[in-house]
Amino acid sequence: MSSVTIPPPACMLRPLEVPFRYLFGPGPSNVPPRILAAGGRPIIGHMHSEMFGIMNDIKKGIQYAFQTSNNMTLAMSGSGHTAMECAVFNIVEPGESVLVAINGIWGERVAEIAERMGMKLIIKIMPAHSFVILHILQALAKYKPVLFFLTHGESSAGLVHPMDGVGDICHKYNCLLLVDSVASLGAAPLLMDQQNIDILYTGSQKALNAPPGTAPVSFSERACHKMFNRKTKPVSYLLDMTHLSNYWGNDGKPERIYHHTGPVSGFFALRESLAILAEMGLENSWSHHTEIAEYLWKGLEDLGLKLFIKDKDLRLPSVTTIAIPEGYDWKELLAYIMKHHRIEFTGGLGPSVGMVLRIGLMGYNCNKANAAMVLAALEDALKQCRKSKA
Ligand code: PMP
């Protein structure tokens, strides 16, 4: 037998080190001790009856958070992208048309996913703006897509998209409405059933304050009808909703059959985060995020900074975008704030790179003390990092 030739790496013989950071960017956000403790509970088997009980609780927690009575509600084993891909893979068949509203990076991502799958793609681009209902209606009438994608909380632009009426016009044209609420769930009002949203997904790591790695998703009856009456199988085995609906006990079958090993600790943490939201109440959570965001926006303007989204009603309360102030290097501002204040903000993403700084105060992180800390750090950085007198 040959012997080991590669020695244990020196880094593996040192203890894990994780610095403390204030995660005030667009996510992940800091995880409160209660959720960390839930995630640290001893593991049980992913097919144990107690685990199925916890998954049933998660389903109820998501139904509350999404305001839906959809039976096909579950959490994906994976981040927000997993839910995004799952929705597109399961709903649309190759050759069918998808209409994607792009006003930041998330529409771009969905467009790329659909394109890779050989779907016919119609895209509507409008950077950092909201879409006018009439324009959506005209595109639906013209292209007759089977799916329309819209981001509720565009975290790359800092924009929250009005949802009223969008589902109604989609249904008029026999099109399903897919909505991304990764950055907005719990922070801005969203009512899945009342707003006629067919597929809604979010992520665990933003206003829900759970660690990254699980992603709630829900499908309406109409969405289920389409995805369970396909001619072809979805390209992904892992994300095939036929299997996932059984794993989550949603298919009415008496037995759940092994499909994959779910992230048990991640589900414990997600359950706790949904419990915190249920205890607080959705409406309180929405109004709290708005109140803190307004305090932050006023403070930013008092510092002489310009908010990227001019219309206050279109500003996402969880993620604020600031136009990069003239005479500053945005990377230097971020590095200074990280070094001297241990605070993470980020720059733009996709189309907003080089245009904005992004500040996120979500869930547990969303309070006046943190907003004041953000303002103090920015005030200091603006004094220290000025490049020119512009
Ligand atoms: N959609 C939006 C609006 C997001 O903000 C993010 C994460 N920044 C995603 C989707 C992707 O989520 P994840 O990173 O969890 O895959």
| pLDDT, tens digit (0-9, with 9 covering 90-100), for 14-24 | 999 999 999 99
Question: With pLDDT > 70 as the criterion, what percentage of the chain qualifies?
Answer: 99
Euclidean distance between CA atoms 39 and 74, whole angstroms: 18
Average pLDDT, the chain: 96
Q: Is any ligand 1 atom within 6 A of the Cβ of residue 106? A: yes
pLDDT the model gives residue 67 = 99
Q: Is any ligand 1 atom within 6 A of the Cβ of residue 186? A: no
With bands split at pLDDT 50, 70 and 90, how would you rate the model's confidence at 168? very high
Provide the 3-class DSSP secondary structure of residue 146.
Answer: coil
Q: Ligand 1: distance of its center to the CA of 260 in Å?
A: 23
pLDDT the model gives residue 149 = 97
- Residue 359 structure tokens: 């500040």
Question: With pLDDT > 90 as the criterion, what percentage of the chain qualifies?
Answer: 92
**Residue 159 is which amino acid?**
L
pLDDT the model gives residue 129 = 85
Kindly list the distances between the CA atom of residue 282 and the CA atoms of 57, 66, 355, in Å, as whole numbers in the listed order.
Answer: 17, 9, 32
The pLDDT of 33-55, averaged and rounded, is 98
pLDDT the model gives residue 376 = 98
Alpha helices in 229-307 (DSSP H): 241-247, 264-280, 282-302
Contact status, residue 317 vs residue 293, Cβ threshold 8 Å: yes
DSSP letter for 279, please: H
The residues, ordered by sequence, that sit 6+ positions from 243 with a Cβ below 8 Å of its Cβ are: 237, 259
The pLDDT of 271-298, averaged and rounded, is 98
- Residue 54 structure tokens: 């916890």
Q: Is any ligand 1 atom within 6 A of the Cβ of residue 153? A: yes
With bands split at pLDDT 50, 70 and 90, how would you rate the model's confidence at 299? very high
**Ligand 1: which of 81, 178, 181, 190 to mutate, judged by most atoms within 8 Å of the beta carbon?**
81
Q: Is any ligand 1 atom within 6 A of the Cβ of residue 96? A: no
Residue labelled with tokens 């926006």: 297
pLDDT over threshold 90, residue 123: no
pLDDT over threshold 70, residue 390: no
Euclidean distance between CA atoms 334 and 353, whole angstroms: 13
Give Cα 378 distance to the centre of its chain.
26
Cα dihedral 133, 113, 236, 262 in deg (nearest 10): -80
pLDDT over threshold 80, residue 128: no
Q: Is any ligand 1 atom within 6 A of the Cβ of residue 182? A: yes
pLDDT the model gives residue 117 = 87
Angle (deg, nearest 10), helices 49-66 and 264-280: 40
- pLDDT tens for residues 315-340? 999 999 999 999 999 999 999 999 99
Ligand 1, atom 9: closest residue by C-alpha: 80
Q: Ligand 1: distance of its center to the CA of 81 in Å?
A: 6
Q: Which atom of ligand 1 is nearest to the CA of 106?
A: 1
How are beta strands 214-219 and 319-323 bridged, if at all?
unpaired
pLDDT over threshold 70, residue 389: no
Q: How many helices (H) and strands (E) does the chain have?
A: 12, 14
Q: Which atom of ligand 1 is nearest to the CA of 153?
A: 3
Structural domains of the chain sorted by starting position, each given as residue range(s) with its CATH number in brackets = 22-28+281-384 (3.90.1150.10), 33-279 (3.40.640.10)
Q: Ligand 1: distance of its center to the CA of 80 in Å?
A: 5
**Residue 313 is which amino acid?**
D
pTM: 0.97
Which strand (E) or helix (H) includes residue 171?
helix 166-172
Q: Is 358 annotated as a binding residue?
A: yes
- pLDDT tens for residues 52-104? 999 999 999 999 999 999 999 999 999 999 999 999 999 999 899 999 999 99
Phi, psi of 322, deg, nearest 5: -115, 135
Residue labelled with tokens 């006046």: 368
Q: Is any ligand 1 atom within 6 A of the Cβ of residue 183? A: yes
Give Cα 166 distance to the centre of its chain.
20
**Ligand 1: which of 182, 199, 201, 359 to mutate, judged by most atoms within 8 Å of the beta carbon?**
182
Of 191, 250, 204, nearest to 224 by C-alpha is 250
Euclidean distance between CA atoms 365 and 207, whole angstroms: 8
Question: 11-25 as b/e, with b when 16 or more CB fall inside 10 Å?
Answer: eeeeeeeeeeebbbb
With bands split at pLDDT 50, 70 and 90, how would you rate the model's confidence at 388? low
Q: Is any ligand 1 atom within 6 A of the Cβ of residue 80? A: yes
Mean pLDDT lowest for which of 111-125, 278-292, 296-310, 372-386? 111-125
ipTM of the complex: 0.99
pLDDT the model gives residue 126 = 81
The residues, ordered by sequence, that sit 6+ positions from 30 with a Cβ below 8 Å of its Cβ are: 21, 22, 23, 209, 364, 365
Of 236, 221, 232, nearest to 77 by C-alpha is 236
Q: What angle do CA 191, 184, 224 make, to 5 degrees?
A: 50
- pLDDT tens for residues 212-253? 999 999 999 999 999 999 999 999 999 999 999 999 999 999
Euclidean distance between CA atoms 338 and 215, whole angstroms: 28
> Which class for 249: exposed (0-12), middle (13-18), buried (19 or more C-beta within 10 A)?
middle
DSSP letter for 307, please: B
The pLDDT of 116-143, averaged and rounded, is 87
Q: Ligand 1: distance of its center to the CA of 183 in Å?
A: 7
**Ligand 1: which of 152, 155, 190, 316 to mutate, judged by most atoms within 8 Å of the beta carbon?**
155
pLDDT over threshold 70, residue 276: yes
Q: Which atom of ligand 1 is nearest to the CA of 212?
A: 15
